[in-house]
Amino acid sequence: MSSDAKNDEQRIPSVREAITDQLLACGSSQTPVQGLSVTVNEWRSSARAVGRALNRPIKTFVAGEVVFAVLGDWPTGAREEELHQQSLQRAAAAVNESFERHRDIR
């Protein structure tokens, strides 16, 4: 086995773990292409493997310089709905804060 193949075998599990953690926390995972430790195709393949392991539909895509994985059925269940609502509240608060800062500048 080549050194590169062995390094890939070591990186893939950590990539899958990171994707899993993000998917379970917010229903999606994203990583800048420049920050990948594997190829874009390996990252997307890893994300699809995570989706299969979770028995969840998943879509992967690249937009600009970022690779994404999104659970197609997020949120399911009370815990995910709670996480989703918290995320929406944080986003709304950030938009409101930005608006208030912009208004104060005028």
Q: What is the pLDDT of residues 24-83, one digit of tens each?
A: 999 999 999 998 999 999 999 999 999 999 999 999 999 999 999 999 999 888 998 898
Q: What is the pLDDT of residue 9?
A: 62
Q: Which of 4-13, 19-28, 97-106 has the lowest mean pLDDT?
A: 4-13
Q: What is the pLDDT of residue 104?
A: 66
Residue 99: predicted pLDDT:
81
Contacts of residue 22, defined as CB under 8 A and 6 or more positions apart, other chains included, come to: 28, 29, 30
pLDDT number for residue 100? 82
